[in-house]
Amino acid sequence: MPPDTLWVQPAQVWQSEYPISEGAGHDGYLALYHDQGLIPVKLLAFDLAVNTTIGLPFVRTSPDHGTAFDIAGKGVARSQSTEAALELAISLTAQRLASAAQPPTVSVVPL
């Protein structure tokens, strides 16, 4: 799928005042390179975007916007992306704990 097409639906959702409806879009996008994913995300949802690393033995999330040293201590920073990163970390941790508490599923295929 071409990148310019990939970001159309997320842009519509992020710019809308309505919540995401069931089946609208995807849970995430995999970018092979940093700039492939973060540039469009920062342009479309600077204050809402969260970065996560999959495949680690622990949950890792962060705001997508970086450190913002240029505005540190000026009282102008917005907290939405940090709040979203914390909310996602809590949700991912809860999912991991719930799946760890479940016994493994065994499928039996009849011969």
* Chain segment 75-92, per-residue pLDDT in tens: 998 888 889 899 999 999
Structural domain range at position 28: 1-45
Whether residue 95 is contained in a domain is answered as yes
Give the number of other Cβ atoms within 10 Å of residue 51's Cβ: 18
Q: Residue 88 has what pLDDT?
A: 92
Partnered with residue 50 across adjacent β-strands are 63
Q: Residue 18 has what pLDDT?
A: 58
Torsion-angle region of 67 (φ positive above 0: left; ψ -120 to 50: alpha; else: beta): alpha
Stronger pLDDT, 107 or 102, i.e. the higher one: 102
Q: Residue 69 has what pLDDT?
A: 86
Contacts of 78 (CB under 8 A, 6+ apart): 47
Confidence of residue 108 (pLDDT cuts 50, 70, 90): low
- The total domain count for the chain is 2
51 and 96, same domain (yes or no): yes
73 and 96, same domain (yes or no): yes
User: Element (H or E) spanning 50, and its range?
Assistant: strand 50-52
Torsion-angle region of 11 (φ positive above 0: left; ψ -120 to 50: alpha; else: beta): alpha
DSSP 57: S
- Percentage of residues in the chain having pLDDT higher than 70: 71
2 and 28, same domain (yes or no): yes
